[in-house]
Amino acid sequence: MTPQDISTLIVRTSMKDRTAFDLLYRQTSAKLFGVCLRVLKDRGDAEEALQEVFVKVWTKADRFAVSDLSPISWLVAIARNHAIDRIRSRRKPAADIDAALEVADPGPGPEAMVVAGGESERIYQCLEELEQDRAQAVRGAYLNGESYAELAVRHKVPLNTMRTWLRRSLLKLRECLER
């Protein structure tokens, strides 16, 4: 089959044409199975992955855009990514989060605390240079963890205005800290 023929089958599949999907499966499944097998290194896993890949193709065929790109490359990318996702899902979590918290953290040394204290003082001095409502918004967003939407309501400004305030205020703070 030519790339144009495969593209046509994908487009028809996006319109839920079962005949086109069946033909697409028959024409491309061997290649996609090879991709899955090469990544997963287990025939049973590769067979399961191939079926899941074609379920994705059936549901996501409308995302395929006919272009100069090879349609088989699009299908291979779906198969490869799905096989890699299967491998990742099998892995155990890196570490239990509670065990990670129990690791002794020596904390910063005296020198680091002095430097951090000086930096903190500089940041607060720079905050004082901002307009009062802008400084309150920066403190709310970055020190108190308030959302932009909450800040916009409190300061009675549109959400995009709040975003602009925060962006410009951070630029002014950076400018101040670089002096």
When pLDDT is cut at 50, 70 and 90, the band that residue 60 belongs to is confident
Indicate if the pLDDT at residue 1 is higher than 90.
no
pTM of the model: 0.51
User: Mean pLDDT of all residues in the chain?
Assistant: 84
Domain 125-178 CATH (choose: 3.65.10.10, 1.10.10.10, 3.30.70.20, 3.40.50.740): 1.10.10.10
Position 37 pLDDT exceeds 90: yes
Give yes or no for residue 56 having a pLDDT over 90.
yes
Higher pLDDT, 44 or 97: 44
- Listing DSSP states for 6-34 in one string gives HHHHHHHHHTT-HHHHHHHHHHHHHHHHH
pLDDT at residue 112 is higher than 70? no
Predicted local distance difference test score (pLDDT) of residue 111: 61
CB count in 10 Å sphere of residue 170: 14
